[in-house]
Structure 1
Amino acid sequence: MLPHCVVAGLAALSLSTALSAQESNVARYTVSVSGLTAGKVTLTAQHEGARYVVSSNSASAGLAGFFRSFTLISQTQGTERNGRLIPQRYSADAKGARQGRGAELAFDGGLATVIKADPPEPDVPVVDPARHKGVVDPLTGLYSVLRDTTPATACQVDLKMFDGHRVNSVTLSSPQADGDGLTCRGLYRRIDGYPAKELARRPETSFIVTYRPVEGGVLRVTEVSVDSAFGLARMIRDN
């Protein structure tokens, strides 16, 4: 797993906390691999009633940026129903090492429609969205993982995601006390849109999510960690 893929996986590995009208927040993260900075991620979320808008800016940094520069800018919008985020529109623009992953999607009734997408890589199967009902976009998935929650609802994520090219799933489960916070186990599975050899070689990746308490009885994700081929990859919240 290359550093830029680690950033995308962690920042593409977003819950049921009721938010007040017109609430917004900005979260900043640093991604490191084996102790070396690999990327920066900024996540901005806005809520107005039941509607949400989330934007993300991921970019290489440190040595990873020197060797393989990339940026991925994405945005999603939709509605929240019974604590579940339901996307309506998603867009992503990738440059550098992430080029070829840009897309614009619409969601309706649990089905995704590709409005436009970068050409697929050679020898990669093209996904039929009609075969994957109930998917969300990857930014909604990321926000479902990273969003502030409560002890009663932490570690309760089970989503299937489609980015216009590939289908993945992410689950959080098994909450465990960790000092004044808790941790949960995550699993990221590749489902469709991958070369057969890659899917067979690396079908899933496990990771750990760490929550720490903040004011008001809220739990906040402060770290996501995963063992990669380049060593321990960590996504740590800076603010």
Structure 2
Amino acid sequence: MKRILFGLASVACLSGTPALSDGSTNAVFSVAIRGITAGTLTVKGSEMGGSYSTTGVLQSGGLVGLVKSLKYTASAKGAVKGSSFRPSRYDENADTGKRKSKTTMTYSGGVPKVVAGSTGDLNPASQKGTVDPQTAIYAAFRDVDQADVCKLNVQMFDGKRRSQVKLASPRADGNMIKCDGEYRRLKGFSAEDMAEKTRFPFNLYYAKTADGRYRVEKVVTQTLYGNATMTRR
């Protein structure tokens, strides 16, 4: 389930609350695969004085047999300038129904350090400049000014694996702006995962809000489980 969301952007029927008047983001995403609800993702975040903080909750449910029971909660904070993020701390709690785990990373000079949880084959000291999964999710789904629509290119490190999320090519599509997106597995994944699939292309659609900003209204992608769509109400 977690892979599906990162494949959307870490992304797909989406319902959300409007952008808050202070410019922060507060949205609830209902994930659907092949037209059937598979779970929900809640993303909250705020930015002030060059700093950001964000929380997220991913909960599977509604698609019996295709995705395992999973609940994932995370928080992150750090510095932000435009579409550039520099995390300072990341905390994650995951419950797959069979196993519970916790991960905490702190950052110094842009270099992550895993201070709680297991690590993989990648040395965290070699992952300078990456962001954590929650920061990547927030960066992809936050409300933005027009100048930042479809502007995202981050490499993500979750303590074990490195991947990339990109948005590009903004263009009009009816009354929305359409972006081309891609989630790509880079390093630290198993040989089986890499053989299975490394690229997850998707399209992301923005709509203009009443205050002149832009928010994600829809995401469409192909996943290993079939067509996935997000639609914001």
Q: Same fold (TM over 0.5)?
A: yes
1:94-123 CA distances to partner (integer Å, 9 max, x unpaired)?
A: 0025846631001121211111114x6xxx
Q: 1:111 to 1:67 in 2, by over 3 A?
A: closer
- What TM-score comes out, normalization by structure 2 length? 0.86
Structure 1 counterpart of 2:71: 71
Moved more, 82-91 or 176-185: 82-91
- Partner amino acid for 1:147? R
Task: Let me know the Cα RMSD of the aligned residues.
Answer: 2.6
CA distance in 1, matches of 2:147, 2:26: 24
CA distance in 1, matches of 2:99, 2:7: 15
TM alignment of 1:1-239, pairs within 5 A = 3=1, 5-10=3-8, 12-13=10-11, 24-64=24-64, 68-96=68-96, 99=99, 102-118=102-118, 126-238=121-233
CA distance in 2, matches of 1:145, 1:164: 20
Task: Specify the SS of the correspondent of 1:217.
Answer: coil
**Deviation, structure 1 residue 75:** 0.2
Moved more, 20-29 or 49-58: 20-29
Task: Specify the SS of the correspondent of 2:136.
Answer: helix
Identical amino acids, percent of aligned pairs: 31
Q: 1:108 to 1:146 in 2, by over 3 A?
A: same
**Deviation, structure 1 residue 196:** 2.2
CA distance in 2, matches of 1:80, 1:215: 24
Large movers: runs of 4+ above 6 Å:
19-22
1:34-77 CA distances to partner (integer Å, 9 max, x unpaired)?
A: 00000111111133322211000110121249962110000001
Aligned residues of 1:7 and 1:39 also touching (Cα < 8 A): no
Task: Specify the SS of the correspondent of 1:194.
Answer: coil
Q: 1:200 to 1:111 in 2, by over 3 A?
A: same
Stretches of structure 1 that go unaligned for 5 or more consecutive residues are 14-18
Stretches of structure 2 that go unaligned for 5 or more consecutive residues are 12-18
Task: Specify the SS of the correspondent of 1:144.
Answer: helix
- What TM-score comes out, normalization by structure 1 length? 0.84
**Deviation, structure 1 residue 9:** 3.8
- Partner amino acid for 2:145? T
Matched pairs, number: 226
Q: 1:144 to 1:25 in 2, by over 3 A?
A: closer
**Deviation, structure 1 residue 21:** 11
Q: 1:215 to 1:136 in 2, by over 3 A?
A: same
1:196-232 CA distances to partner (integer Å, 9 max, x unpaired)?
A: 2321331111111111111132111012221123221
Aligned residues of 2:66 and 2:225 also touching (Cα < 8 A): no
Aligned residues of 1:33 and 1:233 also touching (Cα < 8 A): yes
